[in-house]
Chains A and B, each alone.
Chain A
Amino acid sequence: MKILVAVKRVVDYNVKVRCKTDGSDVDVANVKMSMNPFDEIAVEEAVRLKEAGKASEIVVASLGVKQCEETLRTALAMGADRAIHVETDTELQPLAVAKLLKALADKEQPQLVILGKQAIDDDANQTGQMLAALMNAPQGTFASKVELAGDKVNVTREIDGGLETVSLSLPAIVTTDLRLNEPRYVKLPNIMAAKKKPLDKTTPAELGVDAAPRLKTLKVAEPPVRKAGIKVASVAELVAKLKNEAKVI
């Protein structure tokens, strides 16, 4: 069984982003970039399925600027078999990403596509669901457990109020939540070996996809800062403040 995994290059989890002074966009020049954490979980899940003998090949795809190659190399070092880079300098929004992944899926014919539930830059949480719609395939979003069972996959989903398990016919799309697994630490020999794994290049034009953005960002701004309040010396003082000053209890 072939698995397709999509990975996005984003501003590293630990970087506190700033807005450009003209408010036109976020300033990402010279900041550390990494693989989106939810996508790392997606790669890890695919690799575990392969290690368990349930998957035969893992194809990893990334879409965007030239440096996405680095993100793909990380995925290869984690255990993916080969990579596809859809190179473009155009800002890609979820619908365009879903269309490009659909074009790749048409070629690769994966039985399972695993994506992160959202990217930590635009926080959209859309691409997996959109891809599932375009592929006319079922979706198991926000997955905390994935179990292959014959021609079906059982996905346990983290929903408001608890967990829900659904059974999906393959091919299916899974998007990962935080507790699906803990991604492995990549070791140096694997990083070296990953350099020899195949990395193919293509473009939105070659895939016949119009990747133009549909939403225009008019401005970005930092949210109002919440000011620190006061320290209270005792529990009694805290209760008095909450009752008499804040009036919330």
Chain B
Amino acid sequence: MSILVIAEHDNGSLKAATLNTVTAAQKIGGDIHVLVAGHNAAAAAQAAAQIAGVAKVLLADAAHLGHQLAENVTPVVVELARGYSHVLAPATTHGKNLLPRVAALLDVAQISDVIAVESADTFVRPIYAGNVIATVQSSDAIKLMTVRTTAFDAAATGGSATVESIGAGSDAGKSSFVSQELTKSSRPELGAAKIIVSGGRALASSEQFHGVLEPLADKLGAAIGASRAAVDAGYAPNDYQVGQTGKIVAPQLYLAVGISGAIQHLAGMKDSKVIVAINKDEEAPIFQVADYGLVADLFTAVPELIAELNK
């Protein structure tokens, strides 16, 4: 068996999600190759070559792959995929955008959000917003799947795989990149953070959301997340959203501030190691999953918490 892992990267660097996906590949077992498709992406390919357990890195480097548009990356993956038993991508917005397109052209199913590998053809995945866990078996010749990164540890580094350049195909000419607005932050990425401070609708305004949570996040070296209610209300940008339809996270510590705990939010954070809830409504569902609950007004509790941490 041989497994192709699609790297998540921004040309200059490799994203941590790739490491978790390599671990999932190791659970299947077999030679692991990593595809880096991009433009001026040698640095990302070099980083991929250093992942322990990776046998080879394939680098498809061309201008039309620079923004990794699905229309242009798909033919590269389809061409390669026929030589592999499995093709894995992280279940990030990039992986989810790309892999089903590849699957359709190979006429195979795709398995989404794999959280465990039972065998080379049997995988475990959440359905119904994580309220049900399904075990599914694939009979396709090539198994394509996206991997929920929080369910697998990051692979170690220290490897020294070779980097091989491969054909990059041509521009499909159907789509073009216009612009990107990335949230600028000096804080850790939500998906990779050890501590997450997350805010809900109780923050009541964008100013208070940022004003109250940022000092706490800075003190803890934490990433900031938000409930869907807070994002929908415009208090936080969309990429802060933790939940079934946003990001799935599993940090060491998840601090839910003014979050009631809707099912869809819980689905995104219930695998966190330790959950703390601060909410003035003692009936809030978040307390049913919290290891430590504090019934208090967040506007007094959070500053107190910062003061206590400063002691």
Contact = CB atoms under 8 A, between A and B. Distances in A.
Interface stretch (B31-39, B123-131, B157-165): B123-131
Contacts of B189: 161
B85 interface: no
Q: What band does the interface of chain A fall in when counting residues whose beta carbon is under 8 Å from B?
A: 35 or more
Nearest to A137: B174
A219 B134 contact: yes
B168 to A, nearest CB: 18
A218 B273 contact: no
Interface in B81-114: 92-94, 96-105, 107-113
Contacts of A215: 109, 111, 136-139
Interface in B168-187: 172-183
Identify the interface centre among A120, A133, A178, A216: most chain B CB within 10 Å of its CB.
A133
B178 A166 contact: yes
Contacts of B282: 231
Contacts of B253: 242, 246, 248-249
Identify the interface centre among B173, B175, B290: most chain A CB within 10 Å of its CB.
B175
Interface string B15-39: 0000000000000000000000000
A130 B134 CA distance: 22
A249 B220 contact: yes
Given A165-B180, A179-B232, A223-B131, A129 B104 contact: yes
Interface string A150-175: 00001001111111111111000000
Interface in B51-105: 67, 69-71, 74, 92-94, 96-105
Interface stretch (B41-49, B198-206, B207-215, B293-301): B293-301
Nearest to B306: A235
Contact of B244 (A123, A134, A163): A123
Nearest to B180: A164
Contacts of A16: 131, 263
A238 B305 contact: yes
A91 interface: no
Contacts of A124: 110, 112
A133 B100 CA distance: 8
Contacts of B110: 94-95, 124, 126, 130
B305 A163 contact: no
B101 A132 contact: yes
A217 interface: yes
Interface in A179-232: 179, 214-223, 226, 228-232
A125 B91 CA distance: 10
B76 to A, nearest CB: 14
A106 interface: no
B93 A142 contact: yes
Identify the interface centre among A19, A136, A215: most chain B CB within 10 Å of its CB.
A215
Contact of A17 (B93, B102, B128, B180): B128
A144 interface: yes
B183 A223 contact: no
A34 interface: no
Nearest to A123: B127
Given A94-B110, A139-B97, A215-B138, A164 B177 contact: yes
B239 A160 contact: yes
A163 B238 contact: yes
Nearest to B71: A138
A134 B74 CA distance: 12
Nearest to A218: B135
Given A159-B94, A229-B292, A242-B276, 9 more contacts: A120-B128, A158-B238, A162-B239, A165-B178, A218-B137, A231-B293, A235-B305, A238-B294, A249-B309
Interface of A: 11, 16-17, 19, 26, 93-95, 98, 118, 120-134, 136-139, 141-142, 144, 154, 157-169, 177-179, 214-223, 226, 228-232, 234-236, 238-239, 241-242, 246, 248-249
